[in-house]
Structure 1
């Protein structure tokens, strides 16, 4: 397993509204547990990052970010190649922002500004123009739609293997009855465990998994028809309806946005 460098230290004494780091991780990379006096907004420009916070694994697919308040310990790992942004926000600028780790939707405005910073190599916005754009990013974080965790996980010894198997093959069509049998429990118990440990139903978790998987595939340029087939949908229209209901946009729009250059 390949280990990433330890987290870069932010210059906390500098009076900038935020700090931008664009990081690249090769497959099977790991960043050891660490914390920062700054808050962090982590989101994938491509690929899928897994961030561990307090025993919970947060997934950071394209179009969604993980918000980590100041001084909260976390670690990172990834299965595949990941190119992602880490936006540091000074603690003094965190008023009105979530006080607990959560998942935030990323707006097109925020992505455009940060892509411009990346293109010009801006780490600490210093000019009046760049600081104004950085303030827009701060405002966008405050306004972003938040989720406790878009795709929650659990360390429960009965439920965790079921979720892991589904994550390896999100297009698996077999239902709750099959997965309960593999876990040696009744279907009713499986459904109860999902509500207890995940805070949602088995079917809702599976749909969110498919959305997360679809975002990665669409971001890589796969067609809507191919993604629908790979995720087990009998028709593209059924997949499109599910995706639009959960994300508020069509998969084709997500695919086209993901294919836009990030620098």
Structure 2
């Protein structure tokens, strides 16, 4: 399979274009944007997508939807093989208007692999066109997965959120953050939900999982990650992780 750069295929006269690439460990794509929407999947390794609005991490069996025109950077954890598709905004009706992580079924995975092998100017009425239409149907039905760390627009609150991601702490308390913003607990709770769409406790857990996933993929021990995140030990961390993602953290270690 020949590698394809997404920016080289924005104007291909087809509604969907498949792309496949290989990246070395720790490679980073600087902030950029696409005119088309992008469904980005790592067939191996882990990808971390960052936008001005938040951070999305996709381990194996997950993908990230990036709406058209969204500025984003991509960081690779481990050696990464990506399979993605660029979707013409008006071709198939409305897609989600914000980034999200979704589940990738076995069928969707095979369709993404197949799409990367299809010529860019494929026969829309033939077999390749059928594959692409089925691919779009599977993307539409893919379940949303709660691995999102939205950033607030409130400047001072956003600074606290970014600082948390640099040094996450599962025991961080609302009162500490409210004090830092010089507001009471109730006002902070309302502000945080309005700005992020989730409670402080939910966001804190999402952030911890988001930080943990790349470290797990890099082979770090569950115990060291749990302790670094402020958990009493690996059992509490593993319980939280499995409750959120449905599988234990060991599932994501190489």
Question: TM-score when scaled to structure 2?
Answer: 0.75
Q: Distance in 2 between matches of 1:112 and 1:216?
A: 24
Q: Distance in 2 between matches of 1:12 and 1:91?
A: 13
TM-aligned CA deviation for residue 226 of structure 1: 2.9
2:69 corresponds to 1:73: yes
Secondary structure at 2:12 match in 1: coil
Structure with the largest fraction of strand: 2
TM-aligned CA deviation for residue 46 of structure 1: 2.5
Gaps of 5+ in 1: none
- Number of residue pairs matched by the alignment: 241
TM-aligned CA deviation for residue 78 of structure 1: 5.0
Q: Distance in 1 between matches of 2:22 and 2:85?
A: 11
Whether contact under 8 Å (1:104, 1:144) holds in the other structure is no
Residue 20 of structure 1 is matched in structure 2 by 19
Whether contact under 8 Å (1:191, 1:201) holds in the other structure is yes
Cα 1:28–1:98 shift into 2, 3 Å? closer
TM-aligned CA deviation for residue 135 of structure 1: 4.9
Q: Distance in 1 between matches of 2:155 and 2:202?
A: 21
Residue 95 of structure 2 is matched in structure 1 by 98
RMSD: 3.5
Question: TM-score when scaled to structure 1?
Answer: 0.73
Listed one character per residue, the Cα deviations across residues 1-22 of structure 1 (whole Å, up to 9, x for unaligned) are: xxxx99333352147x532143
Q: Distance in 2 between matches of 1:155 and 1:23?
A: 34
Residue 250 of structure 2 is matched in structure 1 by 252
Q: Distance in 2 between matches of 1:184 and 1:221?
A: 40
Whether contact under 8 Å (2:57, 2:147) holds in the other structure is no
Gaps of 5+ in 2: none
Q: Distance in 2 between matches of 1:226 and 1:203?
A: 22
Q: Distance in 2 between matches of 1:61 and 1:191?
A: 28
